Amino acid sequence: MIYKPHNYQKYATEFIETHNESAVLLDMGLGKTSITLTAINDLLFDSFEVHKVLVIAPLRVARFSWKAEIEKWEHLHNLKYEIVVGTEKERIAALRNNADIYIINRDNVKWLVEKMGSKFNFDMVVIDELSSFKNYNSQRFRSFMKVRPRVKRMVGLTGTPSSNGLMDLFAEFKVLDMGKRLGRFIGEYRNNYFEADKRNGQIIFSYKPLPNAEEQIYKQISDITISMKSTDYLEMPELIKSNYSVTLDEKEWNKYQELKEDLVLELPGGEITASNAAVLSNKLIQMANGAIYDENGEFVDVHSKKLEALEDLIESANGKPVLVAYWFKHDLERIEKHLKSKKIEFARLDSDKSIEDWNNGKISVALIHPASTGHGLNLQDGGSTIIWFGLTWSLELYEQTNARLWRQGQKAKTVVIEHIVSKGTIDEQIIQALEGKHKVQDSLISAVKVNLSKSESIRG
């Protein structure tokens, strides 16, 4: 296929080519892979500025998406690539083959660094989903930073740069510029831009930005960062978000409150404890969904309100295909059992065949887990409605999952995101938190947003 880039794609490609370090914040559907591959192609064969490229991506994206883009566009057919996934034997074989681009999944970064050692000779590295390097304590981050000084060019791609707030940006930009803009150490970053928020004596649980910290951070990174939102450049369908509230009865509500207040819930057959806030939050989400794991790893039913609501929503869709996002394993088991009892046909969306069937209109109710379907999947051909049975604190997974349907190529005029929310529970806090994080992220994106007409007039 002949590549006919839009103006924004030309701009983004040129930005990558003219910056040794670049953070390219692109919404889903804007073609970040083809943009980056075009820049790589130019740097390899036109300017000869790079010779060997490493792409780090989520597994499914590494295995399928980059390969598909290289083979799709005519101008990229001269690129030789190797996909470094699979067994260790398969990975080693791929590395030994001569290629221009080597594509590896992010979970194998530590293995790659250790395997290549002093022979790590990639002069350009692309991190697809830069947000996967937001944890400066993670193995992949620490391993990669050992070889980062050898890399001449860095590109970070993501649509969700600060999914959990501004603190995420430290590690993401250190990977790109080795700490030149936001500091080499997390303590330095915290001292410059944050102050203690929640604490117990000398123990600090969280930080909050200092006044004007957001503006200062964005200014520091603006020279290597561009941002583009799909709504600015693509004709996107209308996005409608709504909450379908369910109410727990008195007995169910009392159980929920007992766990929340006492951190202990007495149930037949055992006792469930919540030893800290994270565990408590997890258990409260489970209860809001309708079941909870006991100390033996078995789940105990608490209520069926969300199952009944899901049934109502599927029925109201009147045959229109819906994706149902679940979070816990017991969510999946209970949903499947309930749908079977109501003779509602469904399928798990967990294989290439099931994804193909969904996009071909053969599945009316598809069950998905955000962690396994968040990145690299095009699902817009199969439907335009997502029902969130269970919610997640992760803005990244939440937005990436929604973007499977709300993207370029969606034939429907509207995409509907429906959240089943247990009234008065932690569900409501999660919805508020997602909205709050979205505001932080939108602030970042707006601060470095590309104004093409202005940029073109300057260059012209």
pLDDT attached to residue 452: 67
Rounded Cα distance between 161 and 153, Å, is 19
Better pLDDT: 93 or 159 = 93
The DSSP letter of residue 168 is: G
Q: Indicate if 235-248+305-423 has the same CATH topology as 7-230+445-459.
A: yes
Which two three-digit tokens encode residue 211? 């006044």
The 10s digit of each residue's pLDDT in 113-165 is 999 999 999 999 999 989 889 999 999 999 999 999 999 999 999 887 877 78
Rounded Cα distance between 217 and 182, Å, is 7
Q: How confident is the model at residue 283 (pLDDT cuts 50, 70, 90)?
A: confident
| Cα dihedral 31, 36, 42, 45 in deg (nearest 10) | -120
Q: Is 73 helix (H, G, I), strand (E, B) or coil?
A: coil
The identity of residue 309, as a single letter, is: A
Do residues 182 and 173 touch, judged by C-beta distance below 8 A? yes
DSSP string covering 173-216: HHHHHTTTTT-SSHHHHHHHHEEE-SEETTEE--EEEPTTHHHH
Q: How confident is the model at residue 265 (pLDDT cuts 50, 70, 90)?
A: low
Rounded Cα distance between 26 and 32, Å, is 7
pLDDT attached to residue 453: 55
Better pLDDT: 82 or 132 = 82
**Residue 13 scores a pLDDT above 50:** yes
Instruction: Over range 242-261, report the average pLDDT.
Output: 88
Q: Is 273 helix (H, G, I), strand (E, B) or coil?
A: strand
pLDDT-above-70 percentage for the chain: 93
Per-domain residue ranges for the chain? 7-230+445-459, 235-248+305-423, 250-302
| Cα dihedral 330, 331, 337, 338 in deg (nearest 10) | 140
Better pLDDT: 38 or 297 = 38
Do residues 326 and 389 touch, judged by C-beta distance below 8 A? yes
The architecture in CATH of the region 235-248+305-423 reads 3-Layer(aba) Sandwich (3.40)
The dihedral through the CA atoms of 49, 54, 58, 63 has a sign that is: positive
Which stretch of 209-218, 227-236, 238-247, 377-386 has the lowest confidence by average pLDDT?
Answer: 227-236
Q: pTM of the predicted model, to two decimals?
A: 0.73
Q: Is 48 helix (H, G, I), strand (E, B) or coil?
A: coil
CATH fold label, 7-230+445-459: Rossmann fold (3.40.50)
pLDDT attached to residue 271: 59
Tell me the backbone φ, ψ of residue 34, rounded to 5 degrees: -65, -35
pLDDT attached to residue 437: 80
**Residue 60 scores a pLDDT above 70:** yes
Please report how many Cα atoms fall inside a 13 Å half-sphere around the Cα of residue 373, on the Cβ side.
26
Between strands 153-158 and 124-128, the pairing is parallel
The 10s digit of each residue's pLDDT in 388-422 is 999 998 888 898 899 889 987 788 889 999 999 99
Instruction: Over range 348-354, report the average pLDDT.
Output: 88
The dihedral through the CA atoms of 313, 315, 316, 322 has a sign that is: positive
The 10s digit of each residue's pLDDT in 173-211 is 999 999 999 999 999 999 999 988 887 778 888 888 999
The dihedral through the CA atoms of 113, 116, 121, 126 has a sign that is: negative
Do residues 161 and 169 touch, judged by C-beta distance below 8 A? yes
pLDDT attached to residue 343: 94
Tell me the backbone φ, ψ of residue 283, rounded to 5 degrees: -70, -35
17 closest CA partner among 37, 43, 35, 52: 43
Distances (CA, A) of 150 to 121, 153, 176, 320, 438: 7, 9, 12, 52, 35
Beta bridge partners of 301: 291
pLDDT-above-90 percentage for the chain: 61
Between strands 101-105 and 264-267, the pairing is unpaired
133 closest CA partner among 150, 155, 117, 103: 155
